[in-house]
Structure 1
Amino acid sequence: MMRIMVLFLCLLAGSLSAQCRQALVLGLDVSGSVDGSEYRLQLNGLAAAMRRPEVMQLILSNPEAPVRLAVFEWSEPRHQRVLIEWTTVQSPDDILKIAQTLEASPRSNAPLGTAVGSAMLFGANLLADQGNCWKRTLDLSGDGKHNLGPHPREVKSALQTAGITINGLVVGADDPNNGDKRYVQVGELSAYYKTWVILGPNAFIEVALGFDDYEAAMTRKLIRELEGLSLSQLSLPNQ
């Protein structure tokens, strides 16, 4: 009986240690509309957002069920480059290493096209490997509509039963001289992402009005995703 009890406790401990509360994939647009300076603003902005104390606190809030993170960049249908392989984030050092890797990542020779649907499929395939996480989320950043590959509406329809959430971070035009046109452009892109890209309960869109605003927008987005999951955990004992 004692041996059975010990075996049960070992199996239980192993099961608990294997859990994660959220698998989070971040997909970054590096198509032709993103120049070299915007590329750096995007990667450095994500790195800086992850270093924010309020974001770090949320990521590390439940050590027994940590967050797992992966990052990739995308452009045309056959161009998706993983920058951060799946990483279980359990300490401030883990977050700092991820941030440093992003800041040191050189830009690849990405083709010019924008394959939003292909990026959705690639992110969904990464999340398929994380079935023991309580929630699986793809964050897709983009500054334009698709012009190559499967249409996002077809991909969204195919992923309806995948059990994942897709959120969008829409990046508007950087040129402040465009005046009201900037708001029209980002409004159109937001509507496009809302209709054809985001997926799942409580899926949402965050907006960056230019890549200069990317860090702030990513910070808001990460807080909203991580805070929402933390609040749902806190409510469980009262149900």
Structure 2
Amino acid sequence: MTRARRGRGILALAAAAGLGLAPGAAMACGLQLILAVDVSGSVDENEFAIQMGGLADAFASESVGAAIAAVEGGVLVTLTQWSGVSRQSQMIGWHRLTDAASAQEFAAAIRTTGRAWRNFSTAIGEAVAHAHAIGGEAPDACGRRVIDISGDGTSNEGRAPEAASHSAASAGYTINALVIRGADPDPLEEYMTRVIAGPGAFVEVAEGFDDYPEAILRKLLREIEQPMIVSERAGE
């Protein structure tokens, strides 16, 4: 065996170990995606409707349907809502998306989902920890695992966001964020420095709730289309 082939084999073994899979095991899906939607007290009923409608429109769009169809093994997706401590709920169970039709079915489920809470605090760390726990209940192993958390304010209750994000990232998750600006203090810095974590983590920005639909579409496309990176040295 050449040195190059031996190196690629080591990288493949390391990737399998990092995902908790036996060497040579096939992935049952390409992407596990957990959508965590902010329903804290700062989000009024119109803003909640914008979030849910924007998410539904994104999954019903031609571009997201095409992106999902291109993912080998498809996408396992679920939706949670979060607010203060002990107020996190999985509102839509796991759906397997493989094409535009299944993405539109998920969009329909989003449109009929109500709101779990209205007047409570903002516990970002608890939201990430809850999403991490739900991820452990997914029906299949996936090549990438992403927590997609959106919010319009800074954390004011519960565990530190960075502790929850570090724990999830250590388990193989990427925590991405969509920050909805307009509050004082501006939540952007906190999400950038204390929330996002893991390989390829990023923050998408909505300049207010009216910008949310376009921002969540950009974010989903970036998350779905991102290839799984084994190693920057894999080609050597």
- TM-score under structure 2 length normalisation: 0.81
Tell me, in whole angstroms, the C-alpha distance in 1 between the residues paired with 2:199 and 2:165: 14
- Matched residue of 2:189: which SS? helix
Aligned residues: CA RMSD: 2.4
**Which structure: larger Rg?**
1
Question: Residue 159 of structure 1 aligns to a residue in which SS?
Answer: helix
Matched residue, 1:223: 221
The equivalent of 1:106 in structure 2 is 114
Deviations, residues 190-223 of structure 1 (Å, cap 9, x unaligned): 2111111001011000001111111100011011
**Runs of 5+ consecutive residues of structure 1 not aligned to the other structure:** 1-14, 174-181
Within the candidate set 86, 93, 98, 1:90 is matched to: 98
Distance 1:160 1:102, change over 3 A: closer
* Map 1:10-159 → 2, pairs under 5 A: 16=26, 19-62=28-71, 64-130=72-138, 132-159=141-168
Unaligned runs of 5+ in 2: 1-24
Bigger helix share: 1
Letter in 2 for 1:106: G
**Which residue type is aligned with residue 98 of structure 1?**
F
Aligned equivalent of 1:206: 204
Where do residues 152-171 of structure 1 align in structure 2 (5 Å cutoff)?
152-171=161-180
2:192 pairs with 191, 194, 199, which one? 194
- Equivalent residue pairs, number: 210
**For residues 121-175 of structure 1, what are the alpha-carbon distances to aligned partners after superposition, in whole Å with 9 as ceiling and x for unaligned?**
01111122346210100000000011111111222333342111000000012xx
Give the TM-score normalised by structure 1.
0.80
% identical aligned pairs = 34
- 1:238–1:161 Cα change, 3 Å: closer
Q: Is the 8 A contact 1:152 1:197 kept in 2?
A: yes
Deviation at 1:69, TM superposition (A): 0.4
Q: Output the CA distance in 2 between the equivalents of 1:137 and 1:33.
A: 25
Compared CA separation, residues 191 and 107, structure 1 to 2 (3 A): same
